[in-house]
Amino acid sequence: MRIPAILILLTAAGCHGSSDDGSGNNPPNPPGPAAGLDQRPSNLTCLAPSTNGGAGVDIELTRVFTSLPPNLSQPLAMLQAPSDASRWFVLEKTGRVRVFANAPNVAAFDADFIDIPASFPTFNDASEGGLLGMAFHPDFATNREVFLSWTEGTPMVSVIARFTSLDGGATLDPGSREDIIRVNQPFTNHDGGQIAFGPDGFLYIGFGDGGSGGDPDGHAQNTRDLLGDMLRIDVDGAVPYAIPASNPFSGGARCPADHTSTTNCPEIYAFGFRNPWRWSFDTATGELWVGDVGQNAFEEIDRVELGGNYGWDCREGSSTFGSPAPSCAVATNLIDPVHEYGRSFGFSVTGGYVYRGSQIPALVGDYVFGDYGSGVIWRLVDAGSGGFAAQNLLDTSLSIASFGEDEDGELYVVDIAQGRLYRIDDAGGGAPAPPPVATLLSDTGCVNPQNPAAPAAGLIPYRVAAPFWSDGADKERWLAIPNGTTIAVQAGGDFAFPPGSVLMKHFRLAGNLIETRLFMRHPSGDWAGYSYEWNAQGSDATLIQGGKVAPIGTQNWIFPSGNDCLTCHTAAAGFALGLEAAELNHAFTYQATGRTANQLTTLDAIALFAAPLGDPSALPELPDPADALASLDTRARAYLHTNCAHCHRAGGPTPSSMDLRFDTLLAMTLACDAVPQAGDLNMGPAARIIAPGAPGSSVLLARMNRRDAVAMPPLASSLVDDAGVALIRDWIASLASCL
């Protein structure tokens, strides 16, 4: 049954009478036959360790390839061909691609890979124009195709063209030029121009808003032209290119160079950028990180997702920009940067890379970026609440035009002013402190070291009524708290765990263990998540730092980063999701005794709580959303409670005011018959967050049924929960009103 949250507090007002057994636990009188366990297990091994405050990282820049002739002219980028670390390619803004051997004492350049102005006299490198980007086709070793991005002509035009090498990859044949995309530039600045192939094999292209101040023509918010956008095209699917079917505006005609399209451009992957100057894909997770240059006040770093609107020029960073244009009144789904900084730190951000090298262990998994104006190099670190904070790594006097990444994941810096190249090295003080948790799951103390698939003796199993969607995985769950401590119960029934506590969860696909997550409350009181990847033999699992995406069977499995964990495990929801009275108020079979008993009764009986919960029949209870014997209404509300209410609740971290908790009356959720404030997903004026009786007009349902920048859940899932979508669709169709 459901009761107001205040009654939970009233029923928890008593206290245990018990004696100390010498172990640090305070067991009650022997539990009655209704309990599933006879006593609380002693937990001496599965304890959240101290984090020791973490460790910094100390870097230095080493100038490299100093024996080369000192005649690099305004270098803008350096890169290597796929799976070929033997050579470096350096793009000069003035139009040449220089090539040299990847050897410390290399003393001469190879023949130019290509010289754009010599081949095409209309080349224009005025202002922010020039040779701006190059991307090797992923199959360059066999097809010898390379894509270049430059500006030409007056008025200026941005060109993306395909070239082929006819001499085994030594040089590009100018006669093989095939223009892929042309875009007219209204001014000579804010051209963007970087190109790169993503992990999906498609070519990504970044264009600025066309220049001038404040985007007066509104290009960045106009999805009927290609300016102010990140584009994604399939260069192998058609001539000159095909549109990936999952692009947000796929299906329409290709957009012309002169911005005269009357329909949304199908090339667009994401939009709302001022000048996306240098961006990259995380080689471990595939995430797209973009440095977007600001206007007057803020520089920003964006983690870009399919279909996302990153706000310019309605916003600069996360702040309203100037006097918003009329188009901003209808601009929706604006996504805040993951980090922004003001003019006291710099004035032109240069996007970098997530470090995946091996030479600086303390930097692994951190995004490294810089500022062209100030020369500062930073990394983004976990801020402890689901966000990022910038940590200054090094102050330099360089004009940082870009960063480079070699085939081993080591990072380089390109100084455009002096025409020099540098490598980021460990300065000797960057060795990380021992990780707060063991590298192998078998060494954490939370599993049986002889059989890591089994929990350690001090863990208590539990099962939630309404499980969170985890891309079809089956899950097993345990909790562990230090001896001599207890769990408090907060308003609403959320469990408050003492420092030192650990929550453990196994994930299985097709019966095979693939991941184990430990969610720990460290002695400092801070919560943190740790993910372990199981080996193919199922004999042990290894800690992953910084997140990862890996193919498992027919799907891509997402191993979350620590930041990702705290995005969902919110303070508003008490951090420990699923561990609340309503989720555990049902029967569970305890393997240790073979008895089936109510979980709350059992946990009460072994004195796990600071005060007894009392009769379970007087406590809230969630149904299983898959239980056909429960009512459609309670099943749907339980699903939303588990999958949405950790963020969408009073005090939650989202800008929405929705409250989707199970016990919130539908009319009070601020979702039923409510006009969406974050976009109608092209549903028109009938769109509502939840439209009673009209699933096709319900934005909540539409977000559940997609996986892009406006999807729900917003991260850590690559598959739609078809059963959940069907449940919510049936529920919305059954609603006659919001009462």
Co-location of 679 and 726 in the same domain? yes
Q: What residues form DSSP beta bridges with 195? A: 205
**Contact call for residues 103 and 126 (beta carbons, < 8 A):** no
Q: Quickly list H helices, 13-85.
A: none
> DSSP label at 124?
-
Residue 283 makes CB contacts below 8 A (sequence gap 6+) with 354, 356, 405, 409
| Residue scoring higher pLDDT (528 or 172) | 172
What band does 54 get if pLDDT is binned at 50, 70 and 90?
A: very low
Co-location of 26 and 59 in the same domain? no
What band does 214 get if pLDDT is binned at 50, 70 and 90?
A: low
d(C-alpha 600, C-alpha 588), whole Å:
10
Q: Average pLDDT in the 645-661 region?
A: 85
Q: What residues form DSSP beta bridges with 101? A: 87
Q: Is the pLDDT of residue 30 over 80?
A: no
Q: Is the pLDDT of residue 125 over 60?
A: yes
Domain-located, residue 316: no
User: Final residue of a domain: which of 618, 642, 672?
Assistant: 618
Find the range with the poorest average confidence among 329-338, 392-401, 618-627.
329-338
Give residue 23's pLDDT: 35
Give residue 13's pLDDT: 28
Domain-located, residue 520: yes
User: Final residue of a domain: which of 429, 448, 465?
Assistant: 429
Co-location of 594 and 703 in the same domain? no
Q: Is the pLDDT of residue 15 over 60?
A: no
CA dihedral 277, 278, 279, 280 (to 10 degrees): 170
What band does 52 get if pLDDT is binned at 50, 70 and 90?
A: low
What band does 151 get if pLDDT is binned at 50, 70 and 90?
A: very high
Q: Is the pLDDT of residue 197 over 80?
A: yes
d(C-alpha 78, C-alpha 512), whole Å:
42
Give residue 573's pLDDT: 84
Q: Is the pLDDT of residue 17 over 70?
A: no
Find the range with the poorest average confidence among 8-12, 336-340, 584-588, 687-691.
8-12
Co-location of 444 and 583 in the same domain? yes
d(C-alpha 410, C-alpha 509), whole Å:
34
Co-location of 414 and 456 in the same domain? no
Domain-located, residue 270: no
Q: Is the pLDDT of residue 654 over 90?
A: no
Domain-located, residue 726: yes
Residues 309, 315, 318, CA angle at the centre, nearest 5°?
90
Q: Is the pLDDT of residue 453 over 80?
A: yes
Co-location of 358 and 496 in the same domain? no
Determine what percent of the chain is predicted with pLDDT higher than 90: 78
Q: Average pLDDT in the 284-289 region?
A: 93
Give residue 226's pLDDT: 97
What DSSP letter does each residue of 407-469 carry, written as one string?
A: TTS-EEEEETTTTEEEEEEE-SS-PPPPPSS-SBGGGSSSEETTEEEEEPTT-EEE--SSPPP
Give residue 369's pLDDT: 98
Number of domains in the chain: 3
What band does 520 get if pLDDT is binned at 50, 70 and 90?
A: very high
Co-location of 705 and 604 in the same domain? no
Q: Is the pLDDT of residue 29 over 60?
A: no
| Residue scoring higher pLDDT (83 or 525) | 83
**Contact call for residues 673 and 735 (beta carbons, < 8 A):** no
Co-location of 568 and 475 in the same domain? yes
Task: Please report where in the chains the tokens 């993503």 appear, as a residue.
Answer: 198
Give residue 599's pLDDT: 97
Co-location of 636 and 687 in the same domain? yes
Q: Indicate which CATH number applies to the domain containing 364.
A: 2.40.10
| Residue scoring higher pLDDT (361 or 239) | 239
151 closest CA partner among 215, 71, 73, 211: 211
Q: What pLDDT, in 10s, does the model give residues 301-320?
A: 999 999 999 999 899 998 98
Q: What pLDDT, in 10s, does the model give residues 410-439?
A: 999 999 999 999 999 999 754 555 668 999
Domain-located, residue 353: yes
Give residue 562's pLDDT: 79
Give residue 9's pLDDT: 29
Give residue 429's pLDDT: 58
Co-location of 614 and 472 in the same domain? yes
Domain-located, residue 558: yes
Task: Please report where in the chains the tokens 């124009």 appear, as a residue.
Answer: 129
Give residue 57's pLDDT: 85
> In this structure, what token pair is assigned to residue 265?
């451009």
Chain centroid to CA 508: 22
Q: Is the pLDDT of residue 32 over 70?
A: no
Give residue 257's pLDDT: 96
Q: Is the pLDDT of residue 19 over 70?
A: no
Give residue 323's pLDDT: 66
Give residue 692's pLDDT: 97
**Contact call for residues 623 and 466 (beta carbons, < 8 A):** yes
**Contact call for residues 637 and 624 (beta carbons, < 8 A):** no
Give residue 56's pLDDT: 66
What band does 162 get if pLDDT is binned at 50, 70 and 90?
A: very high
Domain-located, residue 194: no
Q: Highest mean pLDDT range out of 434-448, 542-556, 692-706?
A: 692-706
Co-location of 447 and 537 in the same domain? yes
Co-location of 611 and 683 in the same domain? no
User: Final residue of a domain: which of 586, 618, 650?
Assistant: 618
Determine what percent of the chain is predicted with pLDDT higher than 70: 92
User: Roughly how many angstroms between the first and final C-alpha of the chain, as a whole number?
Assistant: 19
Cβ atoms within 10 A of the Cβ of 611, count? 17
Q: Average pLDDT in the 19-35 region?
A: 45
| The model's pTM | 0.74
Residue 288 makes CB contacts below 8 A (sequence gap 6+) with 198, 204, 230, 279, 280, 281, 282, 303, 304, 305
Average pLDDT of the chain is 90
Domain that holds residue 678: 632-734
Give residue 2's pLDDT: 32
Q: What pLDDT, in 10s, does the model give residues 690-706?
A: 999 999 999 999 999 99
Dihedral (CA of 535, 536, 540, 541) sign = positive
Q: What pLDDT, in 10s, does the model give residues 605-614?
A: 999 999 999 9
Q: What pLDDT, in 10s, does the model give residues 463-493?
A: 999 999 999 999 999 999 999 999 999 877 8
